[in-house]
Structure 1
Amino acid sequence: MVPTAEKQLSGWGQYPKAQCKITRPERTREILESVDPEGTIVRGLGRSYGDSAINDRGIVVDLTRMDRYLDFDADSGVLTCEAGVSLAAILRDFAPRGFLPMITPGTKYVTVGGCIANDIHGKAHHVDGTFANCVESMQILTAAGEVVTASRTENPELFWATFGGMGLLGIILTATIRLRPVETTYFRQKAIRAESLDEMLDALAEYDAKYPYSVAWIDPLATGARLGRGVLVVGEHAPLDALPAKMRREPLSVSGPPLLEVPFDMPSQSLNPVTLRILNKIIETMQATPTPVAHYEKFFYPLDFVGEWNRGYGKRGFTQYQFVIPFDDGRRRLRAILERIAHSGFCPFLNVLKRFGDEAEGHLSFPRPGYTLAIDFPIRDGLEAFLLELDEMVLDADGRVYLAKDAFTTAEHFAQMYPRLDEWREVKNKWDPEHVFTSNQARRVGLAR
């Protein structure tokens, strides 16, 4: 047996926490030995926000030692690697060769396996879709102890159900993914101010038709006519001839580790209406005055500049509430949700507003055409009831929440949000009939026993 250790685990939001037994295998054989029939879930770098990678029944398998490259074709940019390889490692090792991850979330400290399990998306969903679009195939260890290939042509139902499946169908061992060839690791960018929600949504529609990357920050404390005011930042890959002379000397530069780190959990009182207004003003100024050309680190991963930034929310932690609602009647619905948040008294902080493109193909993949907002809330008394109220508003708009961020949604709400849930359960019952793969989140939202 692989040695186990006991440790208190949480997601990136540091809420909820659970005492878990952990293994850290280095080989496939050790992974197989780690599987506990009473309940097993895989964990990567722990950047899902809620309880999807914790399990107080059975075992948590930490795959970060399964981080080897297995094959790379420099002509096509196709990489085969173990599931514990991080995007940070891919950037470090392949950006100097002219390749970036095809699709990336807002942090590079995520594993390839985690990107698949959450079917992550980024600033370019309206162009590139979700992570599924860059995955050719996977090797998956099933509950029966077999290693099977899943692709669009081989075991396709397992392939598609694994995207957004939160690690509940088997353990992803390896993946073959396509990287994006680039001339430089820089981006041209511009900022557009909007003074109201209508202005912001008009700008998103206009600039999404012109630029592959877009993301908006909105003032979460604004109300009335200024509700939805904020800054939209759009960008595109910078070719070599667009770089200033200094950058052109090293066009494929790679960033290093974080230069700062939050050393301990900040006092919960640090985030209050006064400090939030100050911090939001700082964020607005930074968003509104970007440099014409930015390195991928600042363009994609501005928060990675500070290590362990989640400690800034205090010991009680925080949750990020992310939802998507359809474009149809979306402006009215989004306005109502923003008004409810602004008057809630729950000190909303960092937020991201985007437009999604086509529906993702995974049974439980989150994106669908519409507006998506992700917003942080420090954990406070009464927050759960408030977020369940937001769930009702999202449901009423025919929307859904994102399991990668979720810590509160109920099984009843989740079943109403995901119309392909029964299809996914059929795949689950075929490949894992005894529900070996489970997590605290899976039990909470009714995906596993």
Structure 2
Amino acid sequence: MPLKKGKLAGWGNYPVAESYILTPRSENDSRDALKDGPVIARGLGRSYGDQAVNENRNVVLCTHLNYFIAWDDTTGVLECQAGASLDEIISVFAPKGWFPMICPGTKFVTLGGAIANDIHGKAHHTDGSFVNCVLSFTILLADGSIVTASRTENADLFWANFGGLGLLGIILTVKMQLRKIETTYFRQKSVRIKNLDHMLAALEEYDHTYNYSVAWIDALAKGSKLGSGVLTLGNGAALHELPEKLRQEPLKLHRSGKLSVPFFLPGFALNGLTVRILNKVIAFVQNSPKAFVHYDKFFFPLDAINNWNKGYGKRGFVQYQFVIPEENGKRHLTEILNMIADSGCMPFLNVFKKMGDGQGILSFPFRGYTLAIDFPVTPQLLAFTPKLDAKVLEYGGRLYLGKDALLDEKTFKAMYPRYTEWLAVKRKYDPQNKFSSDISRRLGLES
């Protein structure tokens, strides 16, 4: 398989690394890739940081390994290659009345990437993370063997891969459970939120009424408006609930994105003034009066704009996502939100959610509050994030490794005390670190 050298980055376009790219067309090609030195698998590149880049080393691009293998239309169990994306699964199976159980903020993620980052969505407090819909997978190990991992077979390998950043092997096939649906629409409710007290109270009030909940927070708001924003709630719509017009095509699919950011915008385009204006626009859009909304707008609103990440310019951006425990949540969130508002780092696209119980060894979620913030990369940001890391750690929290680009090894190990358990699995299955990436070296995730 020919090697092609090129610049790669995550969705945040930071950091950028020169990597050698291989594109396998078969399992044998994937096995051959192990002969060429340390590798990391890569899907559609929607991890934000350095999870799927490998400075001066090899990256295996798996998007051509995306075939469907088996489908059971009575149980909703699908088996396919791990390079298949949620977009491809939705396009084929939503018209049949089946939908992925766990959806993040974009449908352009492969199953292998979904496992590597143990993705979660708006219903984590009820549905959990991606591990809950995966029955088993096959994985190419460092010694060239292919094994099956499930809750009962090679269970250590199964659990260590969810949130394991692709560092234990190349996932080849996945057997997963889809959810039966009557429509591709959601009943939606939007609540204008006055402040943090109101936000936390509203999350509790609607916790058992709606399966899906997510909030946009104005991270520039201070004082009595701290924590203000819009809370969006929803449940899957049954056929009989739809208005007559929507009932004519109840399993409607999404369209391809028509809008696009064709080039990197200049750095000055996103500044304090434009961020404030855009935040007001987002607040208006989020506070939608529509009672029923299509899944594409409900789950994947940003997918409507192709290459929206270029809007931050060539400097790139970091999506900083943390979770902290519910205990003392208001006090801790108040201090963190004030730190962000005072940082001068132009926080943008700020998403707030409540999470349920965690699973897996290096999986991110646990019961608590999570906030994801986009920050354009600036020298000011690079000086600020270590202070924010320290505060999150002080409050018993941690960062989402699937989006991280800046965390240091010492802080990571304090945030994820089970890392030693994960390293034991790494030593068992990959003692020579044939699977490595920039993040594995940055965080000390090597045997």
> C-alpha distance in 2, partners of 1:208/1:334?
19
3-state secondary structure, aligned to 1:35 = helix
Give, in angstroms, the shift of residue 37 of structure 1: 5.9
3-state secondary structure, aligned to 2:17 = strand
> C-alpha distance in 2, partners of 1:198/1:358?
23
Give, in angstroms, the shift of residue 36 of structure 1: 4.5
- Contact 2:107–2:300 (8 Å) recurs in 1: yes
- Contact 2:323–2:365 (8 Å) recurs in 1: yes
> C-alpha distance in 2, partners of 1:150/1:348?
40
1:399 paired residue among 397, 402, 406: 397
- Contact 1:37–1:436 (8 Å) recurs in 2: no
> C-alpha distance in 2, partners of 1:76/1:189?
28
- Contact 2:312–2:376 (8 Å) recurs in 1: yes
Give, in angstroms, the shift of residue 244 of structure 1: 1.5
Distance verdict in 2 for CA 1:395–1:36, change over 3 Å: farther
> C-alpha distance in 2, partners of 1:158/1:34?
21
Provide the residue aligned with 1:202 in structure 2: 201
Give, in angstroms, the shift of residue 382 of structure 1: 2.6
Letter of the structure 1 residue corresponding to residue 327 of structure 2: D
TM-score for both structures, normalised by structure 1: 0.99
Q: How does 1:51-62 map to 2 (within 5 A)?
A: 51-62=50-61
Provide the residue aligned with 1:6 in structure 2: 5
- Contact 2:423–2:446 (8 Å) recurs in 1: no
Identity of aligned residues (%): 55
3-state secondary structure, aligned to 2:326 = coil
Provide the residue aligned with 1:174 in structure 2: 173
Q: How does 1:19-58 map to 2 (within 5 A)?
A: 19-36=18-35, 38-58=37-57
Give, in angstroms, the shift of residue 385 of structure 1: 2.1
**Structure 1, gaps ≥5 residues long:** none
2:411 is the counterpart of 1:413: yes
> C-alpha distance in 2, partners of 1:273/1:364?
36
Moved over 2 A (4+): none
Letter of the structure 2 residue corresponding to residue 46 of structure 1: G
Give, in angstroms, the shift of residue 351 of structure 1: 1.1
Give, in angstroms, the shift of residue 407 of structure 1: 0.3
Give, in angstroms, the shift of residue 42 of structure 1: 0.3
Letter of the structure 2 residue corresponding to residue 423 of structure 1: E
Deviations 1:306-360 (A, max 9, x none): 0000000001010000000000111111110000000000000001100001122
Provide the residue aligned with 1:445 in structure 2: 443
> C-alpha distance in 1, partners of 2:204/2:362?
26
Deviations 1:152-209 (A, max 9, x none): 0000000000000000011100010000100000000001111111110111121122
> C-alpha distance in 2, partners of 1:299/1:382?
34
Measured on the aligned residues, the alpha-carbon RMSD in Å equals: 0.9
Provide the residue aligned with 1:308 in structure 2: 307
> C-alpha distance in 2, partners of 1:206/1:366?
25
3-state secondary structure, aligned to 1:100 = strand
Distance verdict in 2 for CA 1:36–1:345, change over 3 Å: farther
> C-alpha distance in 2, partners of 1:290/1:26?
47
- Contact 2:18–2:56 (8 Å) recurs in 1: no
3-state secondary structure, aligned to 1:328 = coil
> C-alpha distance in 2, partners of 1:440/1:14?
14
2:377 is the counterpart of 1:363: no
3-state secondary structure, aligned to 1:358 = coil
> C-alpha distance in 1, partners of 2:336/2:140?
41
Letter of the structure 1 residue corresponding to residue 430 of structure 2: D
Provide the residue aligned with 1:86 in structure 2: 85
- Of stretches 165-174 and 32-41 in structure 1, the one that deviates more from structure 2 is 32-41
Distance verdict in 2 for CA 1:49–1:163, change over 3 Å: same
> C-alpha distance in 2, partners of 1:101/1:312?
29
- Contact 1:38–1:57 (8 Å) recurs in 2: no
> C-alpha distance in 2, partners of 1:309/1:6?
25
Distance verdict in 2 for CA 1:290–1:105, change over 3 Å: farther
1:390 paired residue among 378, 388, 396: 388
Give, in angstroms, the shift of residue 58 of structure 1: 2.2
Letter of the structure 2 residue corresponding to residue 446 of structure 1: G
- Contact 2:10–2:48 (8 Å) recurs in 1: yes
> C-alpha distance in 2, partners of 1:431/1:58?
20
Distance verdict in 2 for CA 1:369–1:159, change over 3 Å: same
**Structure 2, gaps ≥5 residues long:** none
> C-alpha distance in 1, partners of 2:110/2:200?
32
3-state secondary structure, aligned to 1:382 = helix
2:211 is the counterpart of 1:212: yes
3-state secondary structure, aligned to 2:106 = coil
Letter of the structure 2 residue corresponding to residue 401 of structure 1: L
> C-alpha distance in 1, partners of 2:429/2:382?
33
Deviations 1:49-96 (A, max 9, x none): 000000014210000000000001000100000000000000100000
> C-alpha distance in 1, partners of 2:13/2:201?
36
- Contact 1:83–1:174 (8 Å) recurs in 2: yes
3-state secondary structure, aligned to 1:435 = coil
> C-alpha distance in 2, partners of 1:349/1:210?
29
Letter of the structure 1 residue corresponding to residue 187 of structure 2: R
TM-score for both structures, normalised by structure 2: 0.99
Letter of the structure 1 residue corresponding to residue 130 of structure 2: F
- Of stretches 189-198 and 35-44 in structure 1, the one that deviates more from structure 2 is 35-44
